[in-house]
Amino acid sequence: MTSIPADRLRDPRSLPPRATTIGGRAAGPRRGPARAPYVFIAPFYVLYVLFMVVPILVAVYLSLCEWVGLGPPHWVGPRNYAHLLTDVSFHRALGNTGVYVLVSVLVIVPVALMMAQGLNARGLRARDLFRVAFFIPMVVSPIVVALIFSLVFDRQFGLANSVLRAVFGLGGFDWLGDPTLAKVCIGLIMLWRWAGYLTIFFLAGLQNVPRSLYEAAELDGAGRFVTFTAVTLPALKPVTGFVAVTSFISAAQIFDEPFLLTHGGPGDATLSVAMFIYRAAFERQQFGYAAAAGVVLFVLVFTISQIFNRLLGIGRAS
Amino acid sequence: MSASTPAHARRRHRTPSRALLYAALTALLLAFVGPLLWALSGSFKPRGDIFAYPPRPLPSPATLANYRHLLDSQPYPSWFLISTAVALVATAVSVFVCALAGYGFAKYRFTGRTFLFSVMFSSLSIPFAVILVPLFVILVKTGLGNPWFALVVPWVAPAFGIFMMQQYIIQSVPDELLEASRIDGCGEFRIFCQVVLPLLRPSLGALAVWTFLQSYNSFLWPLVLISDNDQFTLPLGLQTLFQAENRQYDLVLAGSVLATVPTVLVFLLLRKQLLEGLSAGAVKG
């Protein structure tokens, strides 16, 4: 039962384009084509170097300097990094960001998968209505999201407390004022914003699983759970990898929700690394220190996502 | 519930589980859309009613006072125009760059292709927070801090868009068509503009909507870059109302609704293209 070959799924998709592309290229490489592809991709690389590579190099340089934003930066070597090692706020920020990442990869991604599984039920009515409605939060501006949820989570008059009081007679939770609850709220908002978006990817992936595999599983007498683990999950591996890595990267640089809703508080309970960077640079004029925190974030996110891309085989040229 | 039982047994167990599925999906629908409707309803309530207990789902009496007050007291049209114009420029540039590069990767084999592709793809894993400080410093030091230029910059080279275009082009642009145009003596760039671009219309639309939304809704970069009230984008304008001493909920609610309605409408109009376009890249990879 577990032997339904995963490569059977990938083959029909990857073969035709490869064959035709090679054929097309071999048939007519006249004067243009040799140079043409480089011209086509050049604009991207020019912008990429100017607005990504150069800034990263500048970040590395700044991270080795002390600079308040005026006059020339003052070279201090790795001192900023040494400070980061002992800065409790930065440790908090890293820990909180770790929590956000875990929530997004271990909670939101599986929830999205379950939602897609529900939407993929055969003969489901109003599938489009559900799909579109679930996606809408992603279209809404983060400032609006923050406003809406501050209406919901307000300590005195919020909808959440009103409903809890009216239905269960429970008393006022200080949703955004309690360190743990505040983190829970940020997690819920992330779930609300992203789940429907990620569902789209899983749903498309599920619709791509050949029906014959399910029929084969049924003939073998597999129950729902076995079918799910033996057919659905292996077939979804590429999509899941992409979705998990993408949500990891988004969660690792989360800024808007904690900044707008709690300003990182109470204390540093919801502070994220991106907020830490913003605060150091633009509220405290410690540009070198902020750059160092940025470099640390970059190294962590880039390394981890490259490892996962490699392991899961995502993003290779087809 | 063994599946080896004949079909009627399965149907019998399906009906209640179907009802359960619809119930769950409807509950989710309420959870996703409910908060938005709550804000929409709140925007028509008199200021004192927004936090009334017990909460009232519908405004009574309904009033447009919040909207009137917002438009009278804040330069709302200016925020809206700046956000929209910046997003349009960013979208145009980004869609063109993505389509070009996506085509280059999809339809040509060339030395260094694999390497260049993985460089492009790996730029997806560069968090914006790293670039935030140095990009700000560079743009200010080089005198390019002008918002019309600077606000557009972070959106012009999205690897996700290139990846998406590449996947779409592989599936929907036949090589024979390109060959035929080459035999007719068309140059490569003309083939791209006249033969390929028209075929890409659905996915260009999807990418355009996506980029537009990203730029229109962006918050962190404008927050860092813009200090002059006259140049506020929509999210910045709403944020000043939101962070003000007494949280002017009546004004922010009205402003949020005005800011959100156009994006939701555009999304609803182009939902098919957008949802299918977004997922095509990831799924068929």
Domain residues for the domain of B82 are 68-283
Domain count, chain B: 1
Residues in chain B within 8 Å Cβ distance of A120: none
Ranking B51-55, B162-166, B236-240 by mean pLDDT, the lowest is B51-55
Does residue B130 belong to any structural domain of this protein?
yes
pLDDT digits (tens, 9 = 90+) for A187-241: 999 999 999 999 999 998 898 888 888 888 888 888 888 888 888 888 888 888 8
Domain-by-domain residue ranges, chain A?
81-312
Residues in chain A within 8 Å Cβ distance of B189: 36, 39
Contact call for A132 and B121, based on CB within 8 A: no
Q: What is the CATH number of domain A81-312?
A: 1.10.3720.10
Residues in chain B within 8 Å Cβ distance of A139: 213, 260, 263-264, 267
**pLDDT band with cut points at 50, 70 and 90 for residue B284:** low
What pLDDT score was predicted for residue A5?
40
What pLDDT score was predicted for residue A139?
93
The label of the residue with tokens 């409707």 reads: B37
Contact call for A302 and B137, based on CB within 8 A: no
Q: What is the share, in percent, of chain A residues with pLDDT greater than 90? A: 49
**pLDDT band with cut points at 50, 70 and 90 for residue A4:** very low
B171: closest CA of chain A, how far (Å): 7
Q: Residue A141: name the closest of B260, B224, B32, B209 by CA.
A: B260
In chain B, where does DSSP find H-type helix?
Answer: 7-42, 65-73, 76-107, 113-122, 128-141, 147-150, 159-172, 175-183, 188-190, 197-199, 201-217, 220-225, 234-243, 249-269, 271-283
Q: What ipTM was assigned to the predicted interfaces of this complex? A: 0.87
Q: Residue B122: name the closest of A50, A277, A252, A52 by CA.
A: A52
CA–CA distance, A292 with A216 (Å, rounded to integer): 55
Does residue B57 belong to any structural domain of this protein?
no
Does residue B247 belong to any structural domain of this protein?
yes
Instruction: Answer whether residue A315 shows pLDDT above 80.
Output: no
B34: closest CA of chain A, how far (Å): 10
Q: Across the interface, which of B55, B107, B171 has its CB nearest the CB of A24?
A: B107
The pTM is what?
Answer: 0.87
B120: closest CA of chain A, how far (Å): 8
Pick the residue with more confidence: A176 or A57? A57
Does residue B54 belong to any structural domain of this protein?
no
Does residue B198 belong to any structural domain of this protein?
yes
Contact call for B51 and A156, based on CB within 8 A: yes
Mean pLDDT of B217-245: 88
Q: Across the interface, which of A40, A140, A162 has its CB nearest the CB of B36?
A: A140
pLDDT digits (tens, 9 = 90+) for A239-276: 888 899 989 999 999 999 999 988 887 889 999 999 99
Q: What's the CATH number where B221 sits? A: 1.10.3720.10
